[in-house]
């Protein structure tokens, strides 16, 4: 099967999660992705848990489908400039201004390669009064307001349990790169892509933000309830907890009859979705009085055949074992890694009929492809590469 990005070369200077996740996805899609790391130390995430055989599986996941080189940006500035001449895309997530201080900012690099697509991720983006502030996943969830609407009404704000802001940043960078490649196909011009982790979280909360933008009412923490529809959210069952959404008129009537309360369809308190939202507290007591008499599976077996949207709340081991997610959708493929043996990864969510993304190779050992890349891409001799290593340039 052909790959969508075959012939595209990406220089990935990212660290930890956001930009490396973008590089991994571009690699899965067939781009030749070259992971550039600091000599000796490498990416900080090489020391992140979980570890296996003394190797970071965290690093392995976000740096799959890449080749790896090392380069000291201060000692090897001229080498980087030569690499830039030979790549289509450069991606990084340094704090804004770092590349400029090194004399390697986009304004310099585009002179070397006018077709270069330069993608950058930072906490707040490259413009505005906050541009120089440190920004990580938790900060993006806090500044964007996501944490203010996550949790229960009587609890403290809660961070999403996963690195939601970083992943959104990586996905937005990939979207920008793909659009920039299409533009370059038409015009021959590269461009800079400026991604803010905080902006990405703001976009992700757009449905909640629209409540404020349209009404002036500030949404707050609402547990597992939907702000704009009812019944909908989390309900206790006889053996656990699950989520149900029965807000559409058709499904509201089905739920009323299934619960043995057909009279609720005509109840003036619940006649419309807006009224059900307004009277949510009373409504949820009625729904939960029914759900707590049945197990989660009994409710799902009852509602799913009726076309209802409902789900158990799976633990991560159950997600991996699930016939749909881990099975049919192949979200956790296994590859054989030379350092850690057989290892499962979280796969790309993008499925394509003609150019299916796939993990091309394990994450590289530090500097594993120095000789290959510096000789094949830049034409360096073996002696020159050895001299660079002895000088600490690579």
Active site amino acids: 166
In the chain the first and final C-alpha atoms are separated, in Å, by: 35
For tokens 């895309």, the residue is 89
Token representation of residue 89: 């895309």
**DSSP E strands: which ranges in 224-337?**
232-236, 241-245, 309-312, 334-337
Q: What would the DSSP string read from start to end of 225-265?
A: --SS-SSEEEEE-SSSEEEEE--SHHHHHHHHHHTT-GGGG
CA distance 208 to 59: 34
| Angle, CA of 266, 271 and 274, to the nearest 5° | 170
CB atoms < 10 A from the CB of 40, how many? Answer: 10
Cis peptide before 231 (omega within 30 of 0): yes
Residue with tokens 């940043």: 169
Residues 116 and 31: their CA atoms lie apart, in Å, by 15
Taking every pair of C-alpha atoms in the chain, what is the biggest distance, in angstroms? 86
What is the Cα–Cα distance from 281 to 79, expressed in whole angstroms?
64
Among the listed residues 136, 117, 157, 116, the one whose alpha carbon sits nearest the alpha carbon of residue 200: 136
């Amino acid at each position: 099967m052909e790959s969508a990005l075959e012939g595209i070369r990406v220089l990935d200077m990212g660290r930890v999660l956001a930009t490396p996740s973008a590089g991994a996805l571009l690699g899965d899609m067939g781009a030749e992705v070259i992971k550039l790391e600091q000599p000796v130390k490498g990416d900080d995430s090489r020391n992140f848990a979980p570890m296996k055989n003394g190797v970071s599986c965290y690093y392995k996941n976000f740096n799959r489908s890449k080749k790896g080189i090392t380069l000291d940006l201060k000692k090897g500035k001229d080498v980087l400039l030569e690499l830039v001449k030979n790549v289509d895309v450069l991606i990084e997530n340094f704090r804004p201004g770092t590349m400029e201080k090194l004399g390697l900012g986009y304004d310099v690099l585009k002179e070397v390669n006018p077709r270069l697509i330069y993608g950058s991720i930072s906490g707040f983006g490259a413009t505005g009064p906050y541009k120089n502030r440190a920004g990580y996943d938790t900060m993006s969830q806090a500044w964007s307001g996501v944490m203010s609407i996550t949790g229960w009404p009587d609890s403290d704000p809660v961070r999403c349990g996963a690195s939601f802001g970083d992943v959104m940043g990586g996905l937005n960078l990939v979207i920008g790169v793909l659009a920039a490649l299409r533009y370059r196909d038409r015009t021959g011009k590269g461009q800079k892509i400026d991604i803010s982790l905080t902006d990405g979280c703001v976009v992700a909360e757009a449905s909640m933000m629209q409540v404020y933008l349209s009404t002036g009412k500030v949404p707050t923490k609402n547990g597992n309830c939907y702000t704009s529809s009812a019944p909908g959210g989390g309900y206790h069952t006889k053996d656990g907890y699950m989520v149900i959404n029965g807000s559409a008129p058709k499904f509201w009537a089905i739920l009323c009859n299934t619960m043995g309360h057909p009279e609720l369809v005509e109840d003036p308190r619940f006649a419309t979705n807006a009224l059900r939202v307004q009277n949510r507290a009373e409504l949820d007591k009625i729904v939960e009085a029914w759900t707590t008499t049945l197990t989660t599976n009994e409710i799902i077996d009852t509602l799913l055949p009726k076309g209802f949207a409902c789900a158990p709340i799976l633990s991560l081991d159950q997600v991996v074992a699930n016939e749909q997610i881990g099975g049919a959708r192949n979200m956790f493929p296994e590859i054989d890694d030379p350092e850690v043996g057989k290892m499962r990864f979280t796969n790309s969510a993008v499925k394509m009929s003609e150019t299916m993304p796939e993990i091309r190779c394990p994450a590289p050992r530090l500097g594993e492809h120095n000789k290959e890349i510096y000789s094949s891409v830049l034409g360096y001799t073996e002696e020159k590469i050895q001299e660079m290593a002895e000088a600490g340039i690579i």
